A and B are shown apart, each in its own frame.
Chain A
Amino acid sequence: MVVRTLPQYPIKKGEPAYKIWIFEPGWKGELPLITNPRQLAEQKRPALLPGHRLCAGCAAPIIVKLASLAFRGPTIVVSATGCIEVATTIFPYTSWAIPWIHNAFENSAATASGIESAIKALKKTGRLPYDHVDVVVFAGDGGTYDIGIQALSGAAERGHDFLYILYDNEAYMNTGIQRSGGTPKFAWTTTSPVGSVIPGKMEHKKPIADIMVAHRIPYVATTTPAHWIDLMKKVRKGIEVNGPAFIHALSPCDRGWRHAENLAIEISRRAVDTCYFPLWEWTPEKGYMLTDRSLSIARNPKLKQPIEKFLELQGRFRHLLKPENRHLLKELQEYVDAMWEDLLNRATNAPK
């Protein structure tokens, strides 16, 4: 038997640096949602441990880390095959400080449905030693937009109580940067190469979060790791609602987006500032509501940046900034503007 011990680093005040989450049977209550940074750093520990092998500067672990800081108690995580899964559980190691299960590329929502049903059955027969056990999925864009969508749509229709977090790095990254239904138009990938025949991917990104809104589940939201308070609040809401919740988190990938290692947060920020990736949440009661920076932009349109600000940091869009491709850039800008206008019309809290 291997002893699982955590390395100790001296801490003068607060929790040890790294922690396995243990909830004794009979544990009651709710972990508080803390958004004060100092209190967070003293009182909370992420459910993701270091030593994972996601690339240096990858945004995906930041999303997992921030999401876990918003968990409310005992939680089971499900991961579809993808960067997060392959890099956090390289045999015999695991980076998860909480129960975690891997399933195939396509069925994380089905696995989560099964777990949630089992939890319900245990509770009904008095064999669950907790008030609630939450189920959270982390799946990539390939595992969500493409191969996983029928499992997700089915689980949403059946109304299972779980939170599905899509970390969207806009391509099949761990298998070598192939285009997906989440890859934006004109992005370079290895299966939509930029050359004299095509200028990168030919199709627009599928509106996955709006597809989930169409299911009329209790909660749908978009977020990025740069907007960390927004992300944490949305994760907590998604966990608290009864029924399926879906969060679409943009996840810059330095390998696939061809950007510098230190820019994942800056690029997430610019994705929102340019309205390429607006922040919003949707509930059946209130409809679309803009949040955080996107609400500020709606109130003060001068804050909206041109799309170049988002593209210029990424090699996958380098060709769009060449003079001969000005028409492509214009087309992309018009598309972003039209999508933003459309969202402004739908958002119940946008100034009219």
Chain B
Amino acid sequence: MVEERLRGWRELPLGAVTYRLSTDYKTGDWRALKPVVNLNKCVKCMLCWIYCPDMAVIWDGEKIVINYDYCKGCGICAQECPVKAIDMVPEYEER
């Protein structure tokens, strides 16, 4: 087995330079409540898209899709939806 060697300074990333996109970091597992869109009720006003702090509401050109990879479950979309088309449902069943 090859022993793992500590990296030398030449191989370390440049200090203070952030070199990866945060899209590699999924914040969806922060969520306790999950927004579920009722597409029959949705009037496509886009307010959820505008107000989502986590860019987790996607407009795919036809409908609203929640991106659960990043959605932190804050519920702002549900609170601000003018027709109450978004329900916040528990992510895990209570045990």
| B80 & A93 in contact (Cβ 8 Å cutoff) | no
Interface of B is mostly: loop
Q: In the bound complex, how far is the Cα of B3 from the Cα of A291, in angstroms?
A: 66
Residue B44 at the chain A interface, CB threshold 8 Å: yes
Q: In the bound complex, how far is the Cα of B67 from the Cα of A51, in angstroms?
A: 11
Q: A51-B70, A93-B25, A262-B74 are in contact. Are A225 and B51 (CB under 8 A)?
A: yes
Q: Which residues does chain A contribute within 8 Å of B6, judged by CB atoms?
A: none
| A265 & B20 in contact (Cβ 8 Å cutoff) | no
**Residue from A9, A42, A46, A264 in contact with B65 in the complex, judged by beta carbons closer than 8 Å:** A9
Chain B, 37-75, CB within 8 A of any chain A CB: 44-47, 49-56, 58-62, 65, 67, 69-70, 72-75
Residue A207 at the chain B interface, CB threshold 8 Å: no
| A41 & B59 in contact (Cβ 8 Å cutoff) | yes
| A18 & B55 in contact (Cβ 8 Å cutoff) | yes
Q: Which residues does chain B contribute within 8 Å of A90, judged by CB atoms?
A: 22, 25
| A7 & B53 in contact (Cβ 8 Å cutoff) | no
Interface size in chain B (residues, C-beta < 8 A)? 44
Closest to B80 in A: A265
Q: Which residues does chain B contribute within 8 Å of A327, judged by CB atoms?
A: none
Interface size in chain A (residues, C-beta < 8 A)? 54
Interface string of A91-108 (1 = CB under 8 A from B): 111110000001000000
Q: In the bound complex, how far is the Cα of B76 from the Cα of A265, in angstroms?
A: 7
Residue A163 at the chain B interface, CB threshold 8 Å: no
| A57 & B76 in contact (Cβ 8 Å cutoff) | yes
Q: A12-B61, A42-B59, A261-B74 are in contact. Are A228 and B20 (CB under 8 A)?
A: no
Instruction: Give A residues with C-beta under 8 Å from B.
Output: 2, 4-7, 9-14, 17-18, 20, 37-38, 40-42, 46, 48-54, 56-62, 65-66, 88-95, 102, 225, 228, 260-266
Cross-chain pairs A/B with CB under 8 angstroms, 12 sampled:
A2-B20, A10-B60, A20-B21, A37-B46, A51-B22, A54-B53, A57-B75, A57-B76, A62-B53, A90-B25, A94-B18, A262-B78
Instruction: Give B residues with C-beta under 8 Å from A.
Output: 13, 16, 18-27, 30-31, 44-47, 49-56, 58-62, 65, 67, 69-70, 72-76, 78-80, 88
